[in-house]
């Protein structure tokens, strides 16, 4: 069984324990953040050992607030392309606000081969889709139009260590009407 499947299973087991103990409360932001970091590292680590566009690097999870960090721990000249998608769902009727805090993926001149796409729709083609690459962090936060955001990460160039860190939150201040 792949590392990512084990991470998801452990996370869901821990959340279930917490929900039972805390009368069906959701996982805490800290638990969600730890899981997301572990998942992100596993995504790029799996690419570095030669898994090309593995469906196991895709994930869907529920979170109200958290952090997404991606960094490859080892540089590899033999790494193959990694294309992964992540979906975060929040409470129905709420929106999510995202802020990219660190970025180093590919070059700033070509967002076709190495990039991160953020959007409110799963196809990531809507007018609110944000595509980022290179090392310039967007100054403005990204706001979803609904209660989930979708992220697609594509990395083909492992000559430089790929890095992505973003914060996201959902609360009453961004609640939909």
Tell which residue, 18, 152, 6, 163, has the closest CA to residue 83. Answer: 152
How far is 156 from 27, CA to CA, in rounded Å?
A: 34
pLDDT score for 71: 45
More confident residue, 160 or 87: 87
pLDDT score for 170: 72
Q: Which residues contact 162 (CB under 8 A, 6 or more apart)?
A: 44, 70, 71, 72, 104, 105, 106, 114, 155
How far is 110 from 156, CA to CA, in rounded Å?
A: 12
pLDDT digits (tens, 9 = 90+) for 26-56: 555 554 554 455 455 444 444 444 434 443 4
pLDDT score for 16: 47
Identify whether the C-beta of residue 69 lies closer than 8 Å to the C-beta of residue 103.
Answer: no
How far is 37 from 64, CA to CA, in rounded Å?
A: 15
Per the document, the length of the chain is 177
pLDDT score for 111: 86
3-class SS shares of the chain: helix, strand, coil, % to 5: 25, 30, 45
pLDDT of residue 106 exceeding 60: yes
Helix H or strand E encompassing 62: strand 59-62
- Residue ranges and CATH numbers for the domains of the chain are 3-170 (2.60.120.290)
How far is 98 from 68, CA to CA, in rounded Å?
A: 10
């Amino acid at each position: 069984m792949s590392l990512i499947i084990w991470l998801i299973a452990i996370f869901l087991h821990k959340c279930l324990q917490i929900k039972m103990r805390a009368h069906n409360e959701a996982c805490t932001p800290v638990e969600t953040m730890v899981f997301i970091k572990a998942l992100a590292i596993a995504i790029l680590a799996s690419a570095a050992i030669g898994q090309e566009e593995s469906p196991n690097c895709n994930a869907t999870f529920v979170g109200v607030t958290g952090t997404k960090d991606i960094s490859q721990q080892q540089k590899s000249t033999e790494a193959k392309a990694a294309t992964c998608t992540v979906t975060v769902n929040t409470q129905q009727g709420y929106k999510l606000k995202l802020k990219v805090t660190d970025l180093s993926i590919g070059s700033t001149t070509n967002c076709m081969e190495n990039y991160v796409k953020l959007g409110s729709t799963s196809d990531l083609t809507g007018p609110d889709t944000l595509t980022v690459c290179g090392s310039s962090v967007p100054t403005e936060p990204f706001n979803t139009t609904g209660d989930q955001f979708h992220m697609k990460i594509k990395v083909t160039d492992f000559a430089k260590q790929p890095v992505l860190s973003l914060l996201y939150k959902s609360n009453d201040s961004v609640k939909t009407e």
